[in-house]
Amino acid sequence: MKTWPGSAYPLGATFDGNGTNFALFSEVAEKVELCLFDDAGAETRVELIEVDAYVWHAYLPQIQPGQKYGYRVYAPYDPKSGSRSNPSKLLLDPYAKATSGQIDWDQALFSYNFGDPDSENNDDSAPHMMMGVVINPFFDWAGDRHPRVPYAQSVIYEAHVKGLTELHPGIPDEIRGTYSAVAHPVIIEHLQKLGVTAIELMPVHQFVDDSTLVEKGLHNYWGYNTIGFFAPQNTYSASGDRGQQVQEFKGMVRALHSAGIEVILDVVYNHTAEGNHLGPTLSFKGIDNAAYYRLVDKTPEYYMDYTGTGNSMNVSNPHSLQLIMDSLRYWVTEMHVDGFRFDLAAALAREFYDVDRLAAFFELVQQDPIVSQVKLIAEPWDVGPGGYQVGNFPPLWTEWNGKYRDTVRDFWRGEPSTLGEFAERITGSSDLYEHEGRRPVASINFVTAHDGFTLADLVSYDEKHNDANGENGQDGESTNRSANYGVEGPTTDPAIQAIRSRQQRNFLATLMISQGVPMILHGDELGRTQAGNNNGYAQDNELTWVHWDEADSSLIEFTAAVTRLRKEHPSFRRSRFFDGRPVVRGAGEPLPDLVWLQPDAAVMAPEDWDSGFGRSIAMFLNGNGIGTRDQRGEPITDVHFLVLFNAHTDVVEFTLPADEYAELWEIVVDTAGVQADSQPRGPGAVIPVEARSLMVLRQHIPTEADNDHSVAASLTVLTGSTADDTSSAQPEMAG
């Protein structure tokens, strides 16, 4: 095999149009072999002679895209000292841009013999391994650009490539469950109808099926078990797994971008699929175990585990950090993605033992001219000591706000003593973010996500029902802050159905009128259920896939309507926190940018917030108090809004406030669906708000249509189903 010296940079396999450069980092290696495989599985080994700064490299002029390859690393095998290299194990290139095949969990994948962890197993693992694939990096992006939607204008849709598309009747069978399916017009049109600006894809980095799941006949559905940080998951490709998946992924991004939709990836840099000291040797362990993993001090045979998966990436090592940063830059520059959601991000902040927000990883991100300019979303916790870090990430970052989720759930199910925190959460969680100079958009607001109940299950089950996972119900969160309203699971009782439908609308409406960035879980807008399973990680089947043929069209329309309301009114997507200072422009009395009112229209006093049973409140949003300017320097203003929240189990009558707030109000959202008339109401008018419902009123600006036609002709009223309807009823619309 003809070889040239090649280059130590970039790492990985890089095709330049003529041949391919191979480069692998290993500080512990004494010898490295590049292993090339043909379609029959025959192996050709090429020793890498050139070494620069612990990078072993060579250029092979005859190697073209589609070539399968791996590495064998020679170094002392001494697990007690933390060294686990074994040349009998074929190793996946950490920088592989594509992969071919899957692992089969044969004994040969392990460096020891089952039942004897201290032994050494020298069986060849190549027949049982997935392999790297040389890719063609060239792609016609046709002028593609990042949409760069500002956070304040963003609506995020968390989705699973397969789960979203596998059952859609409008997608051809041969591409369902793939990147091509996500790019199909029926999916894009649905996202556009909902007002989605970014799709956040659950892990698409190449991952591995856990052996414990394979033994049960299950699969890793979620994908939080990464082995390749540069390679798109090959099972999500309709084009094959010989490098074509890269082109298909790029085509998906291009199609979404052309529709104005950003692509955010859920990434798992905190651990890998190699597990603990009893796990297989697939890549990092055999290349340089101590460089890539955090080992236990004084007993480096074992791994530090802040993730609950057996190992944690060693983010204090410069080569491990380089891997992560190179991966992030690659997905932005070469794959054109628009941001990342970091799984268990607190693990990346563990410089040594404690969580350190100034860890090297965050310093590198801050300084990087590419990565620092895309959306960076942290899941701000891990399973280690002190791992819950909501509100503690650096200013560049946004965070999944778990406190928002918990508080909004508690408020709408009627928990006592939640009123004050509910007000804090829906106005941007300034208590968490303002002290660091961050903005309301630092809070990614969500009520449901992939981990936990779906929205329909949140209002249908008191308890989790995870028997299908094969763990005797021990898996999944037991505290769900959910309610079934009288019956566990499905029911034909129309009263219970009505409450459940109303609560789903309450959650969706609350999301869209809250300050921060709303995130919707795929399928919530159409009533998707997982039959009470709150941990679908192993359910790659119809339990977790979206059933489009059972969609609640009423809920889809309602979701689209409240999302449209948010888009049209900057009052609900402020880029600055409320400050409570009086604001006036033009005629009228000065009013604060935000006023909290009791149902009788009296301003909330400090002692009112301490009422343990307070479950009803009105929120006045001053359209003149947004406090930001447009690109021409002009103040951004809006009409005023009044939001009436009633989490009580009975009707509560709200009195509209004095005319300095507004002379007339019109109802634009009623989640109970009983106030469908659009007649404007003035100060002192009493409006009954149904049990467990919210109402949004907009300041009415008189027009000529008011004189010539009925007022209803000039208004749009967004409501849910009527109180005695089931969830399948269409919303009442006027205008």
Q: Which residues of 214-228 are buried (b: 16+ CB within 10 A; e: fewer)?
A: beeebbbbbbbbbbb
Name residues whose C-beta falls within 8 Å of residue 383's C-beta, 6 or more positions apart in sequence.
305, 306, 307, 308, 344
Give 124-162 pLDDT, tens digit per residue: 999 999 999 999 999 999 999 999 999 999 999 999 999
612 bridge partner residues? none
**What is the average pLDDT across 691-717?**
67
Residue 704: the pLDDT is 60
* 722 confidence band (pLDDT: 50, 70, 90): very low
Classify residue 180 by burial, with Cβ atoms within 10 Å: 0-12, 13-18, 19+. buried
- Judge if the upstream peptide bond of residue 590 is cis by omega within 30 degrees of 0: no
Pairing of strands 517-521, 443-445: parallel
Residue 47 in any domain: the answer is: yes
Q: Is pLDDT of 241 > 60? A: yes
The CATH number of the domain where 41 resides is what?
2.60.40.10
Give 29-79 pLDDT, tens digit per residue: 999 999 999 999 999 999 999 999 999 999 999 999 999 999 999 999 999
Q: Is pLDDT of 190 > 50? A: yes
- Dihedral angle over CA of 463, 465, 469, 473, nearest 10: 50
Determine the 3-state secondary structure of 156 from DSSP.
strand
Tokens for 465? 């029902």
Give 449-458 pLDDT, tens digit per residue: 999 999 999 9
201 bridge partner residues? 159, 265
* 721 confidence band (pLDDT: 50, 70, 90): very low
DSSP 684-707: T-EEEE-TTEEEEEEE----HHHH
Q: Report the C-alpha gap between 159 and 166 in whole angstroms.
A: 12
Give 312-367 pLDDT, tens digit per residue: 999 889 999 999 999 999 999 999 999 999 999 888 877 655 666 557 889 999 99
Residue 352 in any domain: the answer is: no
Residue 629: the pLDDT is 87
Of the residues 101, 134, 167, the one at which a domain ends: 134
User: Contact 444/155 with Cβ under 8 angstroms?
Assistant: no
Residue 708: the pLDDT is 41
Give 507-532 pLDDT, tens digit per residue: 999 999 999 999 999 999 999 999 99
Residue 587: the pLDDT is 57
Give 382-431 pLDDT, tens digit per residue: 877 888 889 889 889 999 999 999 999 999 999 988 999 999 999 999 99
Query: CA-based Rg of the chain, rounded to a whole angstrom?
Result: 28
Residue 590: the pLDDT is 86
Q: Report the C-alpha gap between 259 and 422 in whole angstroms.
A: 35
Residue 369: the pLDDT is 97
Q: Is pLDDT of 615 > 80? A: yes
* 614 confidence band (pLDDT: 50, 70, 90): confident
DSSP 479-525: ------TTSSS----HHHHHHHHHHHHHHHHHHHHSSSEEEEETTGG
Tokens for 106? 């044969």
**What is the average pLDDT across 207-216?**
95
Query: Which domain does 615 fall in, by range?
Result: 594-699
Residue 291 in any domain: the answer is: no
Give 665-680 pLDDT, tens digit per residue: 999 999 998 765 668 9
Q: Is pLDDT of 586 > 70? A: no
Q: Report the C-alpha gap between 404 and 625 in whole angstroms.
A: 24
Residue 347: the pLDDT is 85
Amino acid in position 128:
H
Domain count, the chain: 2
Residue 384 in any domain: the answer is: no
Give 291-320 pLDDT, tens digit per residue: 999 999 999 999 999 889 999 999 889 999
593 to 247, 321, 365, 573, 574: CA distances (angstroms): 49, 44, 35, 14, 11
Of the residues 73, 103, 134, the one at which a domain ends: 134
Q: Report the C-alpha gap between 466 and 448 in whole angstroms.
A: 17
Task: Give catalytic residue positions.
Answer: 343, 379
Residue 384: the pLDDT is 79
Question: Which of these ranges, 1-5, 435-439, 469-473, has the smallest mean pLDDT?
Answer: 435-439
Residue 687 in any domain: the answer is: yes
Question: Which of these ranges, 250-259, 643-652, 718-727, has the smallest mean pLDDT?
Answer: 718-727
Residue 490 in any domain: the answer is: no
Residue 365: the pLDDT is 94
338 to 144, 552, 567: CA distances (angstroms): 12, 31, 20
User: Closest by alpha carbon to 628, among 669, 681, 677, 575?
Assistant: 575
Residue 286: the pLDDT is 98
**What is the average pLDDT across 8-30?**
98
Determine the 3-state secondary structure of 660 from DSSP.
coil
Tell me the CA end-to-end span of the chain in Å, nearest whole number: 74
Residue 670 in any domain: the answer is: yes
Of the residues 100, 134, 168, the one at which a domain ends: 134
The CATH number of the domain where 610 resides is what?
2.60.40.1180
Q: Is pLDDT of 733 > 50? A: no
Q: What is the mean pLDDT of the chain?
A: 92
Give 528-563 pLDDT, tens digit per residue: 999 999 999 999 999 999 999 999 999 999 999 999
Residue 79 in any domain: the answer is: yes
